[in-house]
């Protein structure tokens, strides 16, 4: 807290109260109430590349999708506008109404329909993450299962084709602000260029079947899904679960529910031989 207070004081912000955002897992995010009663959000990033990328994407998207406005930038942090609304946890999907879910689809389609602004190599990214995860999980996961997952992912990657789109890369309930409808999309620190199907993975787990169909109804008012949609989302579901185990181990979260949930996804797919 001392760091954020010093930063704000140096830039003539008179602070009344500071609270930590509960839904941020890879950065430090603070909601600051100023003496003027206004609120701002201050985000400290652990990664300089991600910091610069988020600022770039927020500035690009601000006139096209409802996102926070960047107000000030620093070496390892930036200040953005505070968006009034409810920020639910991922497991609170049951609290969302049909309009909110429908609007989530609309907002995601708007992002996917915009011209890309980076030339990130998506297949290179996937390959690197698969290889890193294999190394990390060797000796941790049962070897035959590990090899089966690795071979499945690399085999699918060999024939993967896609039309480059802007990806949020972490599109989930916790990264959306709600009122009666969607108010804003937040947390673009992982935004990249890649295959649009990936952005459906987390919501396909969090939403019920009926909710997911409602999401797609909203999405397809702007952008139609293709015939390979469900197969492609399933591929990325396995990829994401595999790489999440790697993430958990590197952050000493081997015993967490989050680790077990993703391991269960892979074990369940193993029973179906990854088809």
> Is the domain of 197 the same as that of 252?
yes
Task: Name the domain boundary from 28, 59, 81.
Answer: 81
| pLDDT given for residue 26 in this prediction | 64
Taking all residues of the chain, what is their mean pLDDT, rounded to a whole number? 92
pLDDT bucket at 35, cuts 50 / 70 / 90: confident
What DSSP assignment string belongs to 33-71?
EETTS-EEEEEEES-HHHHHHHHHHHHHHTTTS--PPEE
> Is the domain of 70 the same as that of 141?
no
Indicate which CATH number applies to the domain containing 74: 3.30.200.20
Tens of pLDDT, residue by residue over 233-272, are 999 999 999 999 999 999 888 888 999 999 999 998 876 6
Cα–Cα distance between 54 and 56 in angstroms, integer? Answer: 5
33 φ, ψ to 5°? Answer: -95, 125
Show Cβ contacts of residue 231 under 8 Å, excluding neighbours closer than 6 positions: none
> Is the domain of 35 the same as that of 58?
yes
The Cβ-side half-sphere exposure at 5, using a 13 Å CA radius, reads: 7
Give the percent of the chain with pLDDT over 70: 96
> Is the domain of 123 the same as that of 201?
yes
Q: Is the pLDDT of residue 61 over 90?
A: yes
Question: How many helices (H) and strands (E) are present in the chain, helices listed first?
Answer: 9, 9
Burial 163-173 (b: 16+ CB within 10 A, else e): ebbbbbbbbbb
> Is the domain of 103 the same as that of 199?
yes
| pLDDT given for residue 22 in this prediction | 67
> Is the domain of 234 the same as that of 121?
yes
> Is the domain of 109 the same as that of 25?
no
Task: Name the domain boundary from 56, 81, 106.
Answer: 81
Tens of pLDDT, residue by residue over 75-106, are 889 999 999 999 999 999 999 999 999 999 99
pLDDT bucket at 273, cuts 50 / 70 / 90: low
> Is the domain of 265 the same as that of 130?
yes
| pLDDT given for residue 274 in this prediction | 58
> Is the domain of 48 the same as that of 120?
no
> Is the domain of 44 the same as that of 105?
no
Distance between first and last Cα of the chain: 49
Indicate which CATH number applies to the domain containing 255: 3.90.1200.10
Q: How many domains does the chain have?
A: 2
Task: Name the domain boundary from 16, 47, 81.
Answer: 81
pLDDT bucket at 46, cuts 50 / 70 / 90: confident
CA 11 to chain CA mean position, Å:
30
Task: Find the mean pLDDT for residues 119-127.
Answer: 96
Domain enclosing residue 35, as ranges: 2-81
- For residue 129, which of 246, 269, 266 has the smallest C-alpha distance? 246
> Is the domain of 126 the same as that of 178?
yes
> Is the domain of 63 the same as that of 133?
no
């Amino acid at each position: 807290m001392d760091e954020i207070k010093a930063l704000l004081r140096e830039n003539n912000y008179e602070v009344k109260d500071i609270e930590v955002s509960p839904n941020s897992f890879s950065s430090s995010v603070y909601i600051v109430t100023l003496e003027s009663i206004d609120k701002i959000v201050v985000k400290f990033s652990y990664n300089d590349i991600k910091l610069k990328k988020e600022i770039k994407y927020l500035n690009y998207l601000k006139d096209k999708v409802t996102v926070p406005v960047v107000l000030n930038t620093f070496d390892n942090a930036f200040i953005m506008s505070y968006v009034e609304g409810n920020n639910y946890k991922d497991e609170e999907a049951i609290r969302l109404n049909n309009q909110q879910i429908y609007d989530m689809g609309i907002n995601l389609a708007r992002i996917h329909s915009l011209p890309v602004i980076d030339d990130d190599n998506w297949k290179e990214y996937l390959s690197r993450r698969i290889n890193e995860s294999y190394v990390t999980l060797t000796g941790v996961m049962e070897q035959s299962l590990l090899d089966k997952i690795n071979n499945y992912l690399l085999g699918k990657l060999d024939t993967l084709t896609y039309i480059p789109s802007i990806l949020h890369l972490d599109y989930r309930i916790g990264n959306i602000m709600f009122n009666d409808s969607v108010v804003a999309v937040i947390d673009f620190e992982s935004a990249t260029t890649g295959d649009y199907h990936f952005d459906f993975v987390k919501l396909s787990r969090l939403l019920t079947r009926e909710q997911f169909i409602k999401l797609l109804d909203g999405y397809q008012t702007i952008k139609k899904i293709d015939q390979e949609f469900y197969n492609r989302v399933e591929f990325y579901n396995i990829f994401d679960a595999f790489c999440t185990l790697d993430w958990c181990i590197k952050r000493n979260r081997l015993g967490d529910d989050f680790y077990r949930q993703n391991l269960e996804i892979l074990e369940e797919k193993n029973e179906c031989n990854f088809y």
